[in-house]
Structure 1
Amino acid sequence: MSTFSTLQLDVSPTGIATLWLNRPEKNNAFNAAMISELLQALDAIKEHKDLRFMLLRGHGKHFSAGADLAWMRAAAELDYNANLQDAHALAEVMARLYQLPIPTLAVVQGAAYGGALGLISCCDLAIGANDSQFCLSEVRIGLTPAVISTFVVKAMGERQARRYALTAEAFSGEQAVDLGLLHASYAPEQLDSAVSDWCRTLLDNSPAAMRATKSLLQEVKHGELTPALRRYSEAAIARIRVSPEGQEGLNAFLAKRQPSWRVAAPPSDAEQ
């Protein structure tokens, strides 16, 4: 895969992609280069058909401090159309991450501010350290969490998103679980072990079935039953039942054996 200057993309023998935000000296803050590389990396991951799922992580002390100060300073000097292009690029990152065909797991330590909450909200699963700090900080500097708002509201709910977007209050990893932004939080020293546990859980599952289930859930959305949605769901189960992995899974279950996609002894350290 490609070599990046602001990211690091690793792929394990078990088919796990780990996409690292890799500007630790800048607390993994976004700039134009990182946004461009995120688009490239997500495209590369989408085209890699053998991947099972993706971890999104940040090197260093913090997951991401949000927007880079130098990038914001430059943006302040741009006209409306140039700022619109910048916003479009960031919105495209969020959309591609949200729509990635494989399951995604965000792992958060330290600070996650501003646009970083968008990345976390776009992932299917999210865990973090108890002492991690989250903040929708945009209003403090006269801005608004515009392009990430759709995904943050989906993750936290409208009522809580209103509070934290309007007050710019910081909240902890433990609070993030209560708010729905994280699925679980752990003591900082236990976070890597927890990542390994989550990886082992996902490795137990059929890769094709996880892709199909993610696609199904994106189609179902809020669950409003329409004739078209009913036909879609009926076709979805019929397709997966006759697929190679569907047949393998059913036959393995009936024969009381392990399916072929199971990893015999998953390696530790997040399966790398």
Structure 2
Amino acid sequence: MHFETISVSVDRRGVAALTLRRHAQHNALSGLMIRELTAVAGLLGEDAAVRLVVLTGEGESFCAGGDLNWMKEQIAATREERIAEARRLAMMLKSLRDLPKPLIARVNGQAYGGGVGLISVCDAAIAVEGARFGLTETRLGLIPATISPYVAARIGPAAFLRLATSARLIDAEAARAIGLLSAVVPAEDIDAAVEAEIRPYFAASPEAVAAAKALAHALAPPIDEKLIEMTLMRLADTWETPQAAEGIAAFLEKRKAEWVLADTAK
């Protein structure tokens, strides 16, 4: 399997290493990466030789959210184009969440916005000490709408509310406390910790694992087309507000948005 923004390798045990490979851009999500992740989810899900998948990032970051050029494309897009692109992101996340194999995140560094969404669709997440996390969309005058069903399901509505409204950054221990992460370890121990996390699966029936995962999702509030469509409409509405225009312009111009209090912004 050859891709431009990701790589996939499968070891003799059936462990697929799925790596985000845009390290110069801190593995930010581009339109191409979204399409490639959707495609690889289908391939891995259908491959009987794959027992489980480990998702990680190349370099010092796990995933820094949306790519700058991708953001610029959304600025110039029509409402319908924005909805279509957001739907592609939503369906990529859903395809990974619904993967009929265990999906474990090896969180090698920071994760913001869509990166938090990626962690949230994994069954477990092991992170390095020092990593930081946040839903930073409101700094741009936007909302974390597309990822919201997955993040809220992972960390609960109260934690989601606090992070989504404040755009605050939290450290790895705080992320573990709210359930985003399963464990936090020193960087030199992450591979051993991931190995300890995946080892029990090799004693479990692959078909039963897939059925148990589907059962767990069935017990939770459904993330269906109606819910996804609602989030897309809310995001599209927010894109059209004056404060979204100001927040994005401030971001691109590397200045503070008009609502930022000078003595508190960091």
CA positional deviation for 1:218: 1.9
Query: Mapping of 1:41-52 within 5 angstroms?
Result: 41-52=40-51
Q: For 1:124-139, list aligned pairs within 5 A.
A: 124-139=123-138
Q: Give the match for residue 193 of structure 1.
A: 192
2:49 aligned partner, one-letter code: D
Q: 2:252 matched to which residue of 1?
A: none
Mapped to 2, the partners of 1:179 and 1:130 lie a distance apart of 16
| Shift of residue 140, structure 1, vs aligned partner | 0.6
Displacement of 1:201? 2.5
Greater Cα radius of gyration, structure 1 or 2: 1
Pairs within 5 Å for 1:147-166: 147-166=146-165
Other-structure match for 2:18 = 19
Q: How many residues are paired up?
A: 221
Shift in Å at residue 186 of structure 1? 0.7
- The CA deviation at 1:100 is 0.8
Which residue does 2:103 correspond to in 1? 104
Report the CA distance between 1:125 and its aligned residue. 1.1
Q: TM-score, normalised by structure 2?
A: 0.81
Matches within 5 A, 1:225-244: none
Letter in 2 for 1:186: V
Structure 1 portions without partners, runs of 5+ = 223-272
Q: How far has the Cα of 1:50 moved from its partner?
A: 2.3
| Secondary structure class of the residue paired with 2:61 | coil
Deviation at 1:124, TM superposition (A): 1.1
The residue number in structure 1 matching 2:115 is 116
Root-mean-square deviation (Å): 1.1
4+ residue runs over 4 A deviation:
none
Cα deviation for residue 30 of structure 1 reads 0.6
Residue type at the aligned position of 2:145: A
- The Cα of 1:192 is off from its aligned counterpart by 1.4
What CA distance in whole angstroms lies between the structure 1 residues aligned with 2:142 and 2:220?
29
SS of 2:111's equivalent in the other structure is: strand
Q: Distance in 1 between matches of 2:35 and 2:207?
A: 29
Instruction: Using the TM superposition, give the Cα deviation of residue 207 of structure 1 relative to its aligned residue in structure 2, in angstroms.
Output: 2.0
TM-score, normalised with respect to structure 1? 0.79
Shift of 1:111: 1.0
**CA–CA distance in structure 2, aligned partners of residues 219 and 85 of structure 1:** 27
Task: Give the C-alpha shift of residue 220 in structure 1.
Answer: 2.6
User: In the alignment, which residue of structure 2 is the partner of 1:210?
Assistant: 209
SS in 2 for 1:180: coil
Structure 2: how far apart are the matches of 1:191 and 1:154? 25
Residue 219 of structure 1: CA displacement? 2.2
2:34 paired with 1:55: no
- SS class of match (1:63): strand
Superposed displacement of residue 159, structure 1:
0.5
User: How much does 1:129 deviate?
Assistant: 1.1
- Per-residue CA deviations over 1:147-175 (Å, capped at 9, x if unaligned) read 11011111111011100100011011111
Q: What corresponds to 1:74 in structure 2? A: 73
Rounded Cα–Cα distance in structure 2 between residues aligned with 1:110 and 1:15 = 25
**Residues 2-52 of structure 1, C-alpha deviations (whole Å, 9 max, x = no match):** 200000011111011111111111110011110111111111111102211
Q: Measure the CA separation in 1 of the matches of 2:175 and 2:96.
A: 20
How many Å separate the matches in 2 of 1:142 and 1:166? 11
Q: Specify the alignment match of 1:7 in structure 2.
A: 6
Unaligned runs of 5+ in 2: 222-266
Distance 1:67 1:218 in 2: 27
Q: In structure 2, how many angstroms separate the alpha carbons of the residues matched to 1:63 and 1:86?
A: 22
Q: What SS does the aligned partner of 1:126 have? A: strand
Task: Give identity over the alignment, percent.
Answer: 36
AA of the residue aligned to 1:171: I
- Matched with 2:28 is 29
CA distance in 2, matches of 1:206, 1:59: 31
Distance 1:157 1:86 in 2: 26
* In structure 1, C-alpha distance between the alignment counterparts of 2:220 and 2:86, rounded to whole Å: 25
Equivalent position of 2:145 in the other structure = 146
Indicate yes or no: 2:167 matched with 1:168. yes
